[in-house]
Amino acid sequence: AAIIAAYYDLGVYALVLQSLVATVVRMVLVLIYKKWKPNFYYRFSEIKTMFWYSLKFKASNMALYFERNIDYLILGKFFNSAILGYYAFAYNIMYTPVKRISYIFSEVLFPSFSSFKEDKTKIIGGYFKSVQLIAMVSFPAMIILAFNAEFIIQIVFGQKWNEAIPIVRILCFAGAIQSISQFGGVIFSSIGKPEVTMYVSVGRTILTVLAIVFGVQYGVLWVAYFLVIAKAISYIIFLIVLHHYISFSIGTLIRSLRGTIVLSFILSLIYILFYFEYLNINALSLLIIMVLVSMMVLYLFHKQIIFEIYRVLKEKTN
């Protein structure tokens, strides 16, 4: 819908049309496949117990949306459209896989955590297992993209995006951190505290604004550097708040991420050897080596999880 509208010169309204068509099509498909027909029955007494929870939940979602988009608003004030376009391209390259992964886990974990919201041990155990699963995919993917950004972007998107390559390299590290922190708010919603997610999002938004305000003084690359720092601090704040509601050991988190930490170190070492020409290989060989090393290390540290995922997928297929 958006492509057709853009082809017929509707401009920015193509994006509006895309959103409207997507919503209508989704609603129609739900009505067709779920065999559910809405009616006009309404009684406030039946929803009043959920009213304040829903209001706080919606407010937390609004805060999350504002947190994720505030950078475009501010950067549009300080930089021209070309630089903003390169930043937006780099951010989307980094954020799109993060958003998809976080959305899937949020959709699955929210009902699961809500079903045993009184058992905090199960919740924190499920969260760290989810962090482990996300990190074993997102961290190597983001690091490989960062270290091979020039080769990948030129092959996939063309040389016209060369100016975005340095930004992609930096923001990939922000994406790696954001991948394990973004879906954490589902814990607070599951235990009946969605407003905590809103407070954490407000804190993250403030950190993002400060990072951009400091960064624009020196250029868009410094904005990216400060955003990485802001994401790291944001995750630390989230862990502190989470510990306040559900006690856990930091060692549990480190153990969940030990395979990812080791792999990140190995990939960084390979890139350093390549950068200083101790490895006499081309860009394609570097990419292949990093992918193969990632697969081997992940298999060594997460063999049991990989076999479990394979078993579940096989059962679903059959």
Cα 7 from Cα 128, distance rounded (Å):
46
Any domain includes 125: yes
The answer as to whether 263 is a domain residue is: yes
Same domain, 58 and 2: no
Looking at 49-53, 68-72, 116-120, 199-203, which range is the least confident one?
116-120
- Tokens describing residue 9: 């010169």
pLDDT of residue 153: 93
143 and 13 share a domain? no
Residue 8 DSSP label: T
**pLDDT, tens digit, 9 for 90 and up, residues 134-187:** 888 889 999 999 999 999 999 999 889 999 999 999 999 998 998 888 777 778
Question: Half-sphere exposure of residue 54, counting CA atoms within 13 Å on the CB side?
Answer: 5
Q: Which residues contact 63 (CB under 8 A, 6 or more apart)?
A: 197, 198, 201, 202, 205
Indicate whether 47 belongs to any domain.
no
Which residue is it, tokens 């999350």? 64
The pLDDT of 94-101, averaged and rounded, is 76
**237 and 269, same domain (yes or no):** yes
Residue 280 sits in the same domain as residue 133: yes
Q: What is the pLDDT of residues 246-286, one digit of tens each?
A: 888 888 888 888 889 999 999 999 999 999 988 889 999 99
Residue 46 domain flag: no
**How many domains, in total, are found in the chain?**
2
Q: How much of the chain exceeds pLDDT 70, in percent?
A: 93
Q: Is 44 among the domain residues?
A: no
Q: Are residues 175 and 238 in the same domain?
A: yes
5 and 135 in a single domain? The answer is: no
Q: Is residue 9 part of a domain?
A: yes
Share of the chain above pLDDT 90, in %: 31
140 and 28 within one domain: no
Contact 183, 237 (CB under 8 A): no
For 196-221, the pLDDT digits (tens) are 888 888 888 889 889 988 998 888 89
